[in-house]
Chains A and B, each alone.
Chain A
Amino acid sequence: MPDGHMTETNRRRFLQVTGGAGVGLMVGFTWTATGRRALAAPAEAGKAFEPNAFVKVAPDSTVTVLIKHLEMGQGVYTGLTAIVAEEMDADWAQMKAEAAPANAKLYNNSAFGPIQGTGGSTSTYNSWTQLRQAGATARALLVAAAAQTWGVPASEITVSKGVVSSGKHSAKFGELAAKAATLPVPADVPLKDPKDFTLIGTHLPRKDSVEKSTGKAVFAIDVAQPNMLVAVVRRPPKFGAKAQTVDAKAAKAVKGVVEVVEIPRGVAVVATSYWAAHQGREALKVTWDESAAEKRGTDAIIKDYKALLSTPGEQVTKEGDVDAVKAAKVVKAEFSFPYLAHAPMEPLTCVVKLGKDGCEIWAGDQFQTVDQMNAAQAAGLKPEQITINTVYAGGSFGRRANLESDYIVEGVTIAKALSDAKVQGGKLAGSPVKLIWSREDDIRGGRYRPIYVHGMEAKLGADGALLAWKHRIVGQSIMAGSMFEQKGKPDNTSVEGAAEIPYDIPNRLVDLHTTTSPVPVLWWRSVGSTHTSFAVESFIDELAVEAKQDPVAFRRTLMEKHPRHLAVLNLAVEKAGWGKPLPKGWARGVAVAESFRSVVAHVAEVSQDDKGRLKVERVVCAVDCGIAVTPDVVKAQMEGGIGYGLGAVLFGAITMTDGTVDQSNFDTYRCLRIDEMPKVEVHIVPSANPPTGVGEPGVPPLGPAVANAIAALTGKRIRDLPFTGTVSV
């Protein structure tokens, strides 16, 4: 956590810096301090206006929203900007988005506590009220400035599409900025009634489309600094191994290689270009101490986990008495889920410039506060001496947020090693270093979605009623040993989506075996629900068939007390034409899941050709994510979640032989391609509730919807993922 020095001093420094000449009006977010001037700097005509830490109004009327979350594709530059624009009554064309600096005091994620970071599909959820207030306050100050300038009461002033007007007077925001900057920041400015929204809920073009369609968007891998060096790292072939001997002679002989340094996570080859660094690494000879390494293969790990299914685990949920129920029929199923790599399109990259009193980092940074702390520790500096420039991330899916800040710390430790006076007499000290992971590094680098094994058992009455449900989960904890660990409690990320389900079953037991391994694991788009929802929704579907009921009707009965889930399910099946005839050789499957406070249902249509090959033809999606701030972005996230989830369930797997990862690149770690992408239809449930997650919730119900369609078509239930182990796709 950043220490207390980061608070007032840094905030003020930040205000001073951003309030520089020609910038405008900007006020600290803590506007409970009523009466404080909007900006310390004297107001001059032609200066911008910064009514709070999130909004800047430039003299040319451009309104810039400082985005505290990482833009990694999920659309925060668009959605968060829309919230401010709405409350300001701005015109969409005048709005701009910009990455906020790393500063937990100003830009923490309130869903995480005092930490700035992006994840858990919380960006809109935690920013909603904060940015509405930021926008409304900015608007109130502009109105107050107009009132004073024109000598009319504020109540007679209206704002529409970025124009402030009253009678014969009218002005653009920029014209009022200098005046507004001198006014006291009001407290408790009323927010709009959602029924008066004019931008939120409408189609708004993405703010990053042009840059990203012309090659101009800057990612960490594109950052250039004078005299920058490029580094790659040779990491251990088995998780938990350590470098024993290093022979760098041949590597150093490669043209362009500048230095080879050992760091805690491996051996770094530093060169004047990526190509030289890559060749240097090929020539590097390292032997490894594998005494503490994971030497099991993934088959052995899964076998070990399955053995645990026969013994009770740590209790997570207990309702009624599962064992006491007398059943007409008992149904059992076991599921297994492999390790999955996130494989974001841009491999992990950062640029680090380390000086004596500070360190500057450029990264598609997802966890600024954690990264500042870890970088500080690695550099021997204080967290407030770490400056992070957050740039666009080429995807993440969770990978860039990790509690050890692995790639950031690698970059910093390399820069630190180069600054040692014993290395080339210290002449490399201070050189900016760009660390690039290759795709092979990414696929083999760990922090996978953990392997999980599930054991399910249900008891049905003679009438088909679901009387009892037992769900046992075995797998590695993501949170263990981290600052987010809740000691003495089962790791919620192992059981979310299973502990609470939207089905009322009188007797229910959920328990958990938490395993350990040197293989590092991590949250992966939708975290626990990647596996729990698959098990729950596949099994419920199977039980419907066992109970001789339609899978939708069976769910509806059990879901009676969950109107939100029911409404989403109903919308999806209605739009999909559930029960209507399909071409020969096609079938439908359905699944519904809540994750990150949103509910999503998918209906998947699957076909089989005469060679037995299956294809997912169409997915109809319904989502309740509260108010859809930018519906087209919500749609895009559902489309993306469907494709990402589909590739994973069809063929995603990281396997290991004797502890060494078998996959290395996209040829062996297969990902979904355009010819495998189904048609997608997205329907959003109208809602007046505050926004909830959209980045992840499209993923969980996709796998089971497709598996259920396959079962309906072929009679085969898929128990072990990926599907390619069971069927041909």
Chain B
Amino acid sequence: MPPIKLTLNGKPWSVDADPDMPLLWAVREIAGKTGSKFGCGAAQCGACTMHVDGQPVRSCSTPIGSIAGSKVTTIEGLEGKVAKAVQDAWVKLDVVQCGYCQSGQIMSAVALLTDTPKPTDQDIDSAMSGNLCRCSTYVRIRAAIHEAAKALEI
């Protein structure tokens, strides 16, 4: 089997893996980037959220073979002003508790604000309801997204 070629966090990435292997495990165990988390393996929790060609995807349920040629971004490769605004807001409001879901939350929030710079509570609910947080940091996630949106206006 020829290696699968992609871009990971801006760098070319050639993976020698079973095409059925989920992107999450290829990134965590082959590329050694562990910021994206395993929470359910079934597209139910969002802890594994990455951007594939700019779109948020559940990497636990994305076979690596299905996205050959794509640009993959993980929390480690996040950059740009939206990402900065989101991460700054997360720190400012101390959103995190255990932190395990938060890479995924941030990836979803960055995707939301990239598409919808001034989200309403409803926009937030629909963009973020695929991301579970067992610590229930939801009140602060919502506040931090509004905070980041405000910072981006300036």
Contact = CB atoms under 8 A, between A and B. Distances in A.
Contacts of B94: 205-206, 209, 632, 636
Contacts of A217: 99
A212 B96 contact: yes
Contacts of B138: 643, 672-674, 677
A671 B47 CA distance: 14
Contact of B75 (A215, A438, A679): A215
Residue among B25, B38, B128 facing the most chain A CB atoms (10 A cut-off): B38
A679 B6 CA distance: 42
B80 to A, nearest CB: 14
A673 B131 CA distance: 7
B103 to A, nearest CB: 5
Given A73-B98, A675-B129, A215 B40 contact: no
Contact of A666 (B40, B124, B135, B140): B40
For the complex of A and B, the 7 pairs showing the least CB-CB separation, nearest first, are A643-B136, A215-B35, A394-B100, A212-B99, A73-B98, A73-B97, A215-B75
A616 to B, nearest CB: 12
A475 B102 CA distance: 36
B136 A677 contact: yes
B32 A639 contact: no
Interface in A617-655: 632, 636, 639-644, 646-647
A204 to B, nearest CB: 9
Which of A392, A394, A632, A642 gathers the greatest number of chain B CB atoms within 10 Å? A394
Interface in A662-692: 665-667, 671-675, 677, 679-680
Interface in B121-149: 124-126, 128-129, 131-142
Contacts of B136: 639-644, 646-647, 672, 677
A439 B41 contact: yes
A74 interface: yes
A410 B134 CA distance: 25
A255 interface: yes
Interface string B93-110: 011111111110010000
B101 A345 contact: yes
A569 interface: no
A101 B18 CA distance: 40
Contact of B45 (A216, A219, A666): A666
A124 to B, nearest CB: 16
Given A206-B94, A439-B39, 4 more contacts: A72-B98, A213-B106, A255-B18, A275-B22
Contacts of A639: 136-137, 139-140
B76 interface: yes
Contact of B44 (A75, A275, A665, A680): A665
A667 B42 CA distance: 9
Nearest to B38: A221
Given A75-B97, A345-B132, A345-B135, A212 B44 contact: no
8 contacts: A73-B99, A208-B99, A215-B103, A217-B99, A219-B100, A345-B135, A395-B100, A436-B38
Interface in B65-107: 74-76, 87, 90-91, 94-103, 106
A215 B27 CA distance: 13
A725 to B, nearest CB: 22
A51 interface: no
A209 B90 contact: yes
Interface residues of A, number: 61
Q: How large is the interface on B (under 10, 10 to 19, 20 to 34, 35 or more residues)?
A: 35 or more
A546 to B, nearest CB: 34
Interface of B: 18, 21-22, 25, 28-30, 32, 34-42, 44-45, 47, 74-76, 87, 90-91, 94-103, 106, 124-126, 128-129, 131-142
Nearest to B77: A215
B134 A644 contact: yes
B44 A221 contact: no
A550 interface: no
Contacts of B132: 345, 666, 671, 673
A222 interface: yes
Given A215-B75, A640-B137, A395 B38 contact: no
B134 to A, nearest CB: 4
Given A222-B34, A640-B97, A213 B134 contact: no
A244 interface: no
Given A73-B99, A214-B87, A677-B136, A439 B42 contact: yes
B42 to A, nearest CB: 5
Interface string A358-401: 00000000000000000000000000000000001111110000
Contacts of B103: 215
B99 to A, nearest CB: 3
A1 interface: no
A441 B87 CA distance: 33
A528 interface: no
B139 A346 contact: no
Nearest to A681: B139
Contacts of A222: 34
Nearest to A209: B91
A708 to B, nearest CB: 21
B22 A394 contact: no
Contacts of B36: 215
Contact of B102 (A213, A224, A343, A675): A213
B91 A213 contact: yes
A671 B35 CA distance: 23
B25 A273 contact: yes
Nearest to A215: B35
A221 B97 contact: no
A277 to B, nearest CB: 10
Contacts of A674: 124-125, 128-129, 131, 133, 138, 141-142
Contacts of A396: 98
A677 B143 CA distance: 13
Contact of B140 (A230, A393, A636, A641): A636
Q: Residue among B42, B96, B99, B106 with the most chain A CB within 10 A?
A: B99
A212 B141 contact: no
A224 B28 CA distance: 10
A344 interface: yes
Contacts of B142: 674, 677
A666 B42 contact: yes
A699 B90 CA distance: 25
